[in-house]
Structure 1
Amino acid sequence: MQTTTLEGSRAAGARLIIEGEYLVFCAYSADHAHSLDGDYDIEVTQLMALTQRGKSFVEAGIDGYSRLRDLPRLRTMHEEHKLLDVPRLAAIDKTLRVLPPEADTETFSVFDDALVDMFTLTRAGQALPSPWSITRRLRRLVAEIDASVNFNPKKRRKREASKAATAAFHPVAEDYGERTALTLVADTATMACVGAFLDATAKENNLGRAETMVKLLTGEFTPAPNPVLNIFSPGVDGARQAGTSAYLPGFGWTGADATAVVDKLLRDLPHTEVNLDDVRASRVAGYSPTPRMAAYVRARDGTCVFPRCHKPAERCQLDHRIPYGEGGETTPDNLFCLCQHHHNLKTDRRAFYIPDPSTGETVWLFADGTWLASENKGILRGQTTPSNPRWKSSPASNRAARARVARFNAQCHALCDRYEQDGDFNACIAGIRELETEYDLIFEFHPMPEDLSWMPPEPDLDEPVYPDPQNYYYLPLEDAEALLPPVKLIVERFMRAVRGY
């Protein structure tokens, strides 16, 4: 009885949080909200004092509720059911900000309908989409609806004319003294190849990436032969269509330029095509899954399958849902991605999970009798369920993908134009990184900062802003200028050695 009372009080408290947020911010969702006509800074300060919350939360609440003026159906649903907290409303607002100012009511009605459908619960205990999931779903719809943005086409052509791989050395100020970093920039597909090549060599020598790269560039190591890169691509009748965006684990979906590189690699180098249906049906007698089986499971799950955990599948362990020692088979249907923390939680029998083959969700059962559902976040989402058992592309999906890539590149080029006018390099890179995170794409024409190597470093500089570390490798070296020739040599050696795609 005590447990029931505790659960009831928690549920009531959680409900009051959202209702309290609604009472604080609902005035901003009115069609003729007057608050934003006044002094915004004073308004924010007053609400910070009233709610005892930080500035970022208050601004997110104001902006999130203000966005409901563009989404009347969602606003009506929220007024009736009080479903949406500030983080979810902020995710909606932030994603829709990329729409042009002239977006009309008809355009917003498409998002309004999609959001109402997204938040319409169809069964008891169904979890609402997380802010992370909301952002991912909406950004694809944004790209499909609006691929227009203002940028300078001449400057874009100039940047794209120099899209070959580049390497640059620059000083790095650290607490224990100045060091030098090497930045290697290339398209997503080429960097995925470099990553596979580097990881294979590191594994062969039982070293980390940075130390392996140092030894490769200095000629101390011989490159590992035949690194393997997994490429996931939709197909028609079992065959990949040239020009179709592909998924590279750890790097995301390819843009137009990287897709062309993938097409060239598959055309020029030996590779093996694997039918995912055959992999799903495979099993091994021992404990360890095959590399193909592991790759399939990671693509299917996308992240750790624990609710609200977004640890990438590539950094997760593969858990036998039914333990191997208790008769559980080593087959994809019994293997799931869990990060170390949540793997320990399951191993300690503090929780157990059951996959729903119909929806792709994972239901977690806890020792106190409660349960939560985790949505499927893998790239095969919606393609491996009984209602849709094939991973296939369509003209509509291809058009949507092209529109998404076009808007992403156009927005990034607009940021580069702005940088050439105001000279704010950090703001430009920060904006590009935010777009890369939002779209899960990589912009291949980053501007280079002004060469200030002649100036002595300031002692209290913040950590310098770099491109997304997911797609760039930073190599601290001493006297790095002497290694410029090996950089070119190792790239050429890699392109000759890489195999097994």
Structure 2
Amino acid sequence: MVLMTGPEFVAEGDLDDIAALEGVCDSGREVSAAQAAHLLRLARFARRRLTHILETTVDTPEAQERAWRNLVAETACALHLGEGQARNQIDLAWALTSQLTATFDGLTVGRITLEHAEVIVDQSATVPEVARREFEARLLEAAAVMSPRRLREAAKRLRERLHPETIEARHRKARQERSVWVDAELDGMAVIHHVLSAEDARAILDAVETKVDRVHRGGDIRSVAALRSDVLRDFVLRGETSPAGANDVVPTVVVTIPVETLIGLDDRPADLSGYGAIDAETARRLAAKAPSFARLFVDPIDGSPLALGREKYRPTADMRRVVVLGDETCRFPNCGRPAMYCELDHTEAWADGGRTDLDNLAALCSRHHHIKHEDGWSLEQLEGGVLRWVSPLGRVYETVPKALFDAQYFGVEARPTLATLLDGAPEFEEVLLDPLPPPLVSFDEFELALCGAPPGAVFVDETA
């Protein structure tokens, strides 16, 4: 890291750290306001220019296309942009000033950044107009507490609730766009784009991460990012594609499926860890193929402990599964590292009397685990799994599990438990009253039989 020194930094040299950070926040809001002003001027120019051009000719589709082409070329040259970039800026300006005006207002006052606004515009494009106002309002509220990347992930979940077309129909259409292409980069490098189904993408990434972890632990000096690239290359070019091949890399895809969806009572989307909503048909197919089964919340039915207190430092496998699936990612503000690759941290340190209980555990990536213990950040776990971070400069940040976040910001109601579901389903009452038929010996296996799933099926019940 290079420390910036020189006369240009002297003017604010007498500020304390807290005031200096507040100044950074102020300038960030000023940047957002300036970007909003630029987009407003661009939208006004675009309307004026298109109107002027069309006034001089017969208004036909061909004339409109020529006018638009002229506008894009004029804007690109004036701003020293490529025409694709100019077109995107005009589209963004048009959407914010004519359709998503609340988002534009948020940008104008510096409440959100341009990147947040771009996410809202992009995700709103396929939301029906009747639902767009609610969609925009909920995302604006969420944008105040998360990064653009996390906002995009949240927007996808909200979009599934508000979109009238089923996710199955949209997925079938989207699958037709599968493709691979390469973009050249500088210095002899290139980027491969691979468009494929979300479940396949997650399986590939998990296989890569698993192999990378093994190689890295073996002392390889390459960076983790470079290892990911090299491992994926080897999978493709050297034929290391079999999950159970010589390298014994078995990809893991975690899908959270509501019980009522799995047994066919409805077709609400399931959740693919690290991606978001997937259609019920795909989720059932993955469940039928999976080699193992796990419940998200462990309860007294199978005797698995929810808490170890001061008896043991290391959480059980069941406890880790609960934390990983509940947290989904590292719980430091805006970190997107998948929880399955994170460490479990005792919020109140074990050395300070902390307990190995679910309400004292959270997923933290290695970097943020070190930040918590070594760099002056403090952490408190509140009710419902809310984590309250306090930075060395006293700024407070809270992160919440995904389910709680969706309930707070998107109004997502808790789904019924399995018992409640079956109490309201008369066709299952006779099955419930009968003893468990052999060879079923556990409630988990009974659930699978009830669902009609084959032996060895796997699903994660987020409602138990």
Q: Same fold (TM over 0.5)?
A: yes
One of 132, 146, 149 as aligned partner of 1:132: 149
1:111 aligns with 2:132: yes
* 2: CA distance, partners of 1:191 / 1:137: 18
Q: Indicate yes or no: 2:423 matched with 1:362.
A: no
Change (3 A) 1:31 1:277: farther
1:129-188 alpha-carbon deviations (Å, 9 max, x no partner): 432243234334545435399x9xxx98x98xxxxxxxxxxxxxxxxxxxxxxx9x9993
Check if 1:264 corresponds to 2:296.
no
Q: Give the aligned partner of residue 316 of structure 1.
A: 342
Q: 1:295 aligns with which of 318, 321, 335?
A: 321
Q: Which residue type is aligned with residue 145 of structure 1?
A: H
Whether contact under 8 Å (2:360, 2:381) holds in the other structure is no
Task: State how far apart, in whole Å, the 1-side matches of 2:326 and 2:294 are.
Answer: 20
Contact persistence 1:382–1:388 (CA under 8 A): yes
Paired amino acid for 1:258: T
CA gap 1:265/1:276 in 2 versus in 1, 3 angstroms: same
Once the two structures are overlaid, the 10-residue window that deviates more, 77-86 or 319-328, is 77-86
Alignment of 1:21-420 (within 5 A): 21-28=35-42, 33-34=47-48, 39-48=71-80, 61-71=89-99, 73-74=101-102, 77-78=105-106, 81-98=109-126, 107-108=128-129, 110-120=131-141, 127-143=144-160, 144-147=162-165, 188=199, 192=203, 231-235=255-259, 241-242=263-264, 245-249=269-273, 253-265=277-289, 271=293, 273=295, 275-276=297-298, 281-283=306-308, 285-357=311-383, 361-374=386-399, 376=400, 378=402, 381-382=405-406, 390-392=414-416
Asked if the contact 2:270–2:280 (Cα under 8 Å) also holds between the matched residues in 1, the reply is no
Distance in structure 2 (CA, Å) of the matches to 1:71 and 1:45: 27
Letter in 1 for 2:282: A
Q: Which residue in the other structure is 1:102 paired with? A: none
1:335 deviation in Å? 1.6
Residue 63 of structure 1 aligns to a residue whose secondary structure is: helix
- Quickly say closer, same or farther: Cα 1:367–1:76, change in 2 above 3 A: closer
- Aligned with 1:132: secondary structure? helix
Q: How far did residue 60 of structure 1 move?
A: 5.4
Q: What is the DSSP-based 3-state SS (H/G/I as helix, E as strand, rest coil) of the residue aligned with 2:256?
A: coil
Please, what is the CA RMSD of the aligned residues? 5.7
Maintained 8 Å contact 1:321/1:353: yes
Please name the residue that 2:27 is paired with.
13
| Corresponding residue SS for 1:2 | coil
Native 8 Å contact 1:315 1:339 kept in 2 = yes
Q: More deviation in 6-15 or 206-215?
A: 206-215
Residue 383 of structure 2 aligns to a residue whose secondary structure is coil
Q: Structure 1 residues 21, 79: CA separation in 2 closer, same or farther (over 3 Å shift)? A: closer
Asked which structure has the greater RCO (Cα within 8 Å, sep 6+), the reply is: 1
CA distance in 2, matches of 1:218, 1:335: 32
Deviation (angstroms), 1:228: 8.2
Q: 1:57 Cα shift?
A: 7.6
Indicate if the aligned counterparts of 1:300 and 1:380 stay in contact, CA closer than 8 A: no
- Cα deviations across residues 341-376 of structure 1 (Å, max 9, x unaligned)? 222211214212334436x653321112223334x3
Matched position secondary structure for 1:147: coil
Q: What is the one-letter code of the residue matched to 1:25?
A: L
Segments of 5+ residues of structure 2 without an aligned counterpart are 1-13, 53-70, 177-193, 219-226, 419-453, 460-464
Change (3 A) 1:71 1:21: same
* Corresponding position of 1:438: none
Give the superposition deviation at 1:74.
0.8
| CA positional deviation for 1:254 | 4.0
Q: Counterparts of 1:295 and 1:389 in 2: how far apart (Å)?
A: 23
Provide the residue aligned with 1:472 in structure 2: none
Distance, in Å, in 1 between the alignment partners of 2:412 and 2:28 is 36
Whether the aligned pair in 2 keeps the contact of 1:228 and 1:499 (CA below 8 Å) is no
Paired residue secondary structure (1:287): coil
Partner of 1:425: none
The one-letter amino acid paired with 2:111 is L
Alpha-carbon distance in 1 for matches of 2:263, 2:166: 26
Cα contact 1:78–1:84 (8 A) shared by 2: yes
Read off the aligned partner of 1:115 and give its amino acid letter: E
Asked whether the 8 Å contact 1:230–1:295 carries over to 2, the reply is no
Report the Cα distance in structure 2 between the residues aligned to 1:227 and 1:130, rounded to whole angstroms: 29
* More displaced stretch, 74-83 vs 282-291: 74-83
Q: Name the CA shift for 1:27/1:255 in 2 (closer, same or farther; >3 Å).
A: same
TM-score normalised by length of structure 2:
0.57
Residue 384 to residue 70, structure 1, CA distance change in 2 (3 Å): closer
Question: Aligned in 2, Cα 1:5/1:55: closer, same or farther, shift over 3 Å?
Answer: farther
281-290 or 337-346: which moved more?
281-290
What is the number of residues matched between the two proteins?
Answer: 359
Name stretches of at least 5 consecutive residues in structure 1 with no aligned partner: 100-106, 160-182, 395-495
Q: Quick one: distance in 2 between partners of 1:244 and 1:120?
A: 25
Distance 1:136 1:11 in 2: 24
Query: How big is each residue's C-alpha offset from its partner over 1:220-239, in whole Å with a ceiling of 9 and x where there is no partner?
Result: 85979x99875422235xx9
Partner of 2:434: none
Of 272-281 and 343-352, deviating more is 272-281
Q: Is the Cα contact below 8 Å between 2:256 and 2:270 reproduced in 1?
A: yes
Q: In structure 1, what is the equivalent of residue 15 of structure 2?
A: 2
> Partner letter of residue 47 of structure 1?
L
> What is the TM-score normalised by the length of structure 1?
0.54
Shift of 1:109: 5.1
